[in-house]
Amino acid sequence: AQTVTQSQPEMSVQEAETVTLSCTYDTSESDYYLFWYKQPPSRQMILVIRQEAYKQQNATENRFSVNFQKAAKSFSLKISDSQLGDAAMYFCAYSGEGAQKLVFGQGTRLTINP
Amino acid sequence: NAGVTQTPKFRVLKTGQSMTLLCAQDMNHEYMYWYRQDPGMGLRLIHYSVGEGTTAKGEVPDGYNVSRLKKQNFLLGLESAAPSQTSVYFCASSYSAATSYNEQFFGPGTRLTVL
């Protein structure tokens, strides 16, 4: 079974600085997707960025980018120019073949200091 | 489009009571999912459905039942609620495997407390 591990329960960063959230996963599949979801205090799960495993190029969405290391099974999220609105729980998630079930990590609570 | 909606948003039950959580989506998605979220554990899959009339067990199915009688609805039932089922429940939906992005769209969640 696939597993996803987020080893940083909490992180904090100064506004306008850069922060990197870590995620590692374990799988025997060759074709899969990786995601970062943001959960603000409203509880709504918001997709931040996704990466297809067969693509070598790291995904980027405005201030959010990933460092995907397939051989190391690592998928970190970098947030540049941090903003107060980035404060939230961030979940790394894996989706493999078949029914697209998501396997989530434990989450990292990100605090932005003004 | 309303996206994915969940009813109710909050509920308090006594041990042994039953209830049904309703999830509805208006995006014509084939796949639907129920997750539970507990502190420090992320979201865990309870049951899922790959189409109308089909259901399958996820990671933590015990104590729950589901039904998908209509494509747009996915019901989660608790026949005899236990305090261990106190959690936040999320419904999600996605396109079939024929598409490339596998993105799941989430509802706003239901906070359930079992006393």
Tell me the pLDDT tens digit for each residue of A72-81.
Answer: 999 999 999 9
B9 closest CA partner among B78, B88, B106, B85: B88
> pLDDT tens digits, residue range B58-109?
999 999 999 999 999 999 999 999 999 999 999 999 886 545 566 889 999 9
- Asked if A43 and B41 come within 8 Å (Cβ–Cβ), the reply is no
- C-alpha A103/C-alpha B18 separation (Å) is 28
Cβ of residue B28 closer than 8 Å to a chain A Cβ: no
Q: Among A23, A92, A102, which would you mutate to test the B interface (most chain B Cβ atoms within 10 Å of its Cβ)?
A: A102
Measured between beta carbons, the chain B residues lying within 8 angstroms of A105 are 42
Query: Using an 8 Å Cβ cutoff, are A21 and A107 in contact?
Result: no
A32 closest CA partner among A99, A93, A94, A107: A94
> pLDDT tens digits, residue range A7-22?
999 999 999 999 999 9
- Asked if A106 and B108 come within 8 Å (Cβ–Cβ), the reply is no
Measured between beta carbons, the chain B residues lying within 8 angstroms of A31 are none
Average of per-residue pLDDT across A43-65 = 92
Residue B84 or A30, more confident: B84
Measured between beta carbons, the chain B residues lying within 8 angstroms of A4 are 42
C-alpha distance from residue B22 to each of A38, A44, A66, B12 (Å): 24, 17, 35, 16
User: Quick one: pLDDT at residue B25?
Assistant: 97
Give the closest-approach CA distance of A85 to chain B in angstroms.
19
- C-alpha B103/C-alpha B59 separation (Å) is 20
Percent of chain A with pLDDT over 90: 81
Radius of gyration (C-alpha) of chain B in whole angstroms: 13
List A residues 59-88 in contact with B (Cβ-Cβ < 8 A): none
- C-alpha A20/C-alpha B44 separation (Å) is 24
DSSP code of residue B95: -
Residue B88's closest chain A neighbor by CA? A43
Record the tokens describing residue B100, joined without a space: 């490339």
- Asked if A43 and B92 come within 8 Å (Cβ–Cβ), the reply is no
Cβ of residue A105 closer than 8 Å to a chain B Cβ: yes
- Asked if B102 and A45 come within 8 Å (Cβ–Cβ), the reply is no
DSSP code of residue B7: E
Average of per-residue pLDDT across B14-32 = 95
Task: Quickly state the pLDDT bin for A29 (edges 50, 70, 90).
Answer: confident
Strands A108-113 and A102-104: unpaired
A25 closest CA partner among A75, A61, A66, A81: A75
Cβ of residue B39 closer than 8 Å to a chain A Cβ: no
How many inter-chain contacts (A to B, CB under 8 Å) are there?
Answer: 58
Measured between beta carbons, the chain A residues lying within 8 angstroms of B46 are none
Helices and strands counted in chain A (H then E) = 0, 12
